[in-house]
A and B are shown apart, each in its own frame.
Chain A
Amino acid sequence: MALLELDELTRRFGGLVAVDHVSMRVERGEVRAVIGPNGAGKSTLFNLITGVLKPSHGIVRLAGESVTGLSAPRICQRGIARTFQLTALFREMSARENVRLAAQAREPRRWQFYGGRAVFNAVGDRADAALERLGLSAIGDRPAGLLSHGDQRLLEVAMALAQEPQLLLLDEPTQGLSVEETAQAVETLSGLFAEGRMTVLLVEHDMEVVFRLAQRITVLHRGAVIADGLPEAIKQDERVQGAYLGGLA
């Protein structure tokens, strides 16, 4: 049973079909990249999977159970964590506090309004571990808003990681990063994925990053899947080349 199954997932905005009968299966432990030219529907797809948008048609299944139509917080609780294209952080809080709040969301007693030492201890351990894995331990006490752009992107990943998700959705993690920052991020992420226990869905524009990290690639064009396979095959695929160079009928 695949971890994530999309079945004819569709989303219309008035006359525009942003996501067009997309079907996909992502296996446990797989690192899958979703690529496509601008406007292909990648972010909309993410929004559909995470419950930010409701599909016009189709089903989203996580570990065999349908999560279609559930609210975003509910879907997150089911085990999907995501990062955003535009960095979304708690800027006044320190990096560590950001990750702690993310980790706390998965605690059964996260709403406790008195004391909470047990919650905070559990959360603290998870947060420190996540920061460590992303190489951010040194800047843990700095306010998130003052971190470099590269560190902020990684911080978001750390927050997602601290939620110990079944499925990790990364929306353009290297967006806006310099060449050095991108190289560093790719190093960190590939180390993370190599541990093998993560199932990752990754949207990326930078092809080098994609080929470095992805095990399989799905290509979207105008909302529909036009190719799906191993990186080498995708590189050679004529339809993909046509879509990127413009003018697929």
Chain B
Amino acid sequence: MSFLPFLVTESVNALSQAALLFFLGVGLTLIFGIMRIVNFAHGTFYMLGAFIGYSAARFSGSFWLALGLAPLAVGILGALFELGVLRRLYRRDESAFLMVTFGLALVLTELIRLGWGPEALPVGPPVAFSGIVMLMGEPFPAYRLFLAGAGAVVALGIWQFLERTRLGLLIRATSQNAEMVHALGIDVNLVRSAVFGIGCGLAGAGGVLAAPLVTASIGMAATMIIDAFVIVIIGGMGSFPGSLLGAVLVAFVQVFGEYYVPDLALAFMYLVMLLVLVIRPGGLLGKEA
């Protein structure tokens, strides 16, 4: 393959990967922005989305239904967890949050293992996008094109949501000054639950979308949370545009890294995380470390 088509196909490939990573990272960064906690279970919610999506798709025969149902289920689960558990810990120090969400990750992983077994489960892409398209003369899976597009649309949607809607305004305000919002008579706790639910739901959506491409398995949880964390660190904790930037950067590093130095791609990722943490702990776009 000559270079330009290669560059284009691999770049679109990276963009589709970025879309998935964006779904993973944006929730984590929103949650951090509002609650100043890192949800260690975030990667597990992603995984849960994939497995629930698998069951929903099998049961109904429709990928689209799965795409609608799974994020909803995951989001509700997340909101309930915030309500039942996290809310009691706001007066404690951050290590308590870390450990509790870690515990949640373990519990969810075990639930998945019990519910669906330790093996990877196959999910087929929706019929509409299961074919091949030609990109610059090279065959390219239509589904990945769909993903790249979906990612862009959702990013736009979230941006508009944050900028134009009342809830979006509340979210931005609470992430800057929760006390003030509370003083204005808004139930900040409700905003927090909503954001946690939305964040987890987005992760779940990412999981469903990823399912046709990646073999969902238990070992994913640790990798995913590290990926999510790297994205958010690069872009800056709490920064929505940062999560987009982080997702794109990480995706490109992963895709091109996998091509040129396959065995070192993993180490490379951690090196990137290290460098960012050391040089700019606030992330490239973020406000605080």
Direct interface between A and B, CB < 8 A: no
Residues of B within 8 A of A (CB): none
